[in-house]
Amino acid sequence: MQDEMKNRRAGILAALGACCMWGVLPLYWKLLQSVPADEILAQRMCWSFVFMLCVLLALGRGRGFLADCRALWRDKKRGAMLLLASLLISVNWLTYIWAVNHDHIIETSIGYYINPLMSVLLGMVVFHERLVPGKKLSILLAGIGILVMTWQFGQLPWIAVLLASSFAVYGAVKKLLGLDPVVSITLETLLMLPLSFLYLGYLGQSGQSHFGSSLFVTVCIVGTGAVTATPLMLFSRGANLLPLNVLGFCQYIAPTIALGIGIFVFHEPFSWTHGISFGFIWIALVIFSFAEKFSAPVDRPDEVLRDEN
């Protein structure tokens, strides 16, 4: 019993640490606001791979990583799925970085609030998972919240929808792959290295590269690897030690912190339309969380997969 309580505390601390780091991540990207989002993405891919490779070697999992590489090379279908996952996380990261540095932090928080509901909807369509009435209602309410914003502002909140949908599909692909999160993100960044190197080489040749432009910017660029990998590993540890209903509540911490940063730190506009939309989404998440807690085990996700921004 004492060991169980100790593991639970360690899991909660790890999950909270990961979610809080993801929540304050907009502050980090703002440090690189002078750098275009596409260049940040290319640098992030490179430095994330370097950092993750160091982690794997430090954990003594280099041979296992090579074995996974060989297995995926032999299984062309799974290799193609891994490439799809790489493309999806690239789209997600690029959208998130661009949105943060163009004053759309509030919209990114909407995206990550509705992401669990989007994942459930995708699970119903792709994996034919059964939904209890509460989950169906939560999806409906979140949809109403998005429609309110679309009607009032005259356009779909594309940043929120793109973030939620790309990450939901990414999670579904990762579920099918069944790879360890640390190995998976290492492989995903590895696949993007050739394009990243080519693009960064082009920027360097044309004099547009920001790497080396100043010590501060260069250190921040190199640090993108650590800020990507550290919360991922913390959350993975939390996922291994906590029940899903506890982990489910933790996942709303990051968008809540980001919402507060958008409103109170960077003074992004928060209108009554945002209030109504968030109201629908928050009610949907409360219903969803209780439905998840009291649903039968067969209705629960088989695993928790998360690779944040």
Q: Give 119's contacts (C-beta < 8 A, 6+ positions apart).
A: 167, 168, 171, 172
Length of the chain: 309
Q: How many CA atoms lie within 13 A of 257 on its CB side?
A: 17
Q: Both tokens of residue 258?
A: 């980001």
| CA–CA separation, 131 and 139 (whole Å) | 10
Map residue 105 onto helix, strand or coil.
helix
Closest CA to 236 of 105, 95, 55, 5: 55
**Residue 165 to residues 44, 119, 175, 228, 272, Cα–Cα distance (Å):** 21, 8, 15, 20, 25
Q: Both tokens of residue 223?
A: 């640090």
Q: Give 212's contacts (C-beta < 8 A, 6+ positions apart).
A: 218
> What Rg, from alpha-carbon coordinates, does the chain have?
20
| CA–CA separation, 61 and 121 (whole Å) | 35
pLDDT at 21 (0 to 100): 95
Q: Both tokens of residue 81?
A: 């799925």
pLDDT at 299 (0 to 100): 42
| CA–CA separation, 100 and 163 (whole Å) | 12
**Residue 303 to residues 35, 41, 76, 247, Cα–Cα distance (Å):** 36, 28, 24, 11
Map residue 249 onto helix, strand or coil.
helix
pLDDT, averaged per 10 consecutive residues of the chain (309 residues), comes to 78 90 96 96 96 90 88 90 94 96 94 85 76 83 88 85 91 84 89 96 95 96 94 82 70 91 94 91 86 57 50
pLDDT at 303 (0 to 100): 43
pLDDT at 248 (0 to 100): 67
pLDDT at 154 (0 to 100): 78
- Give pTM, 2 decimals: 0.88
pLDDT at 279 (0 to 100): 93
∠ at Cα 42 (30, 70), nearest 5°?
Answer: 135
Closest CA to 44 of 147, 161, 207, 192: 192
Q: Is residue 288 a contact partner of residue 117, using CB atoms and an 8 Å limit?
A: yes
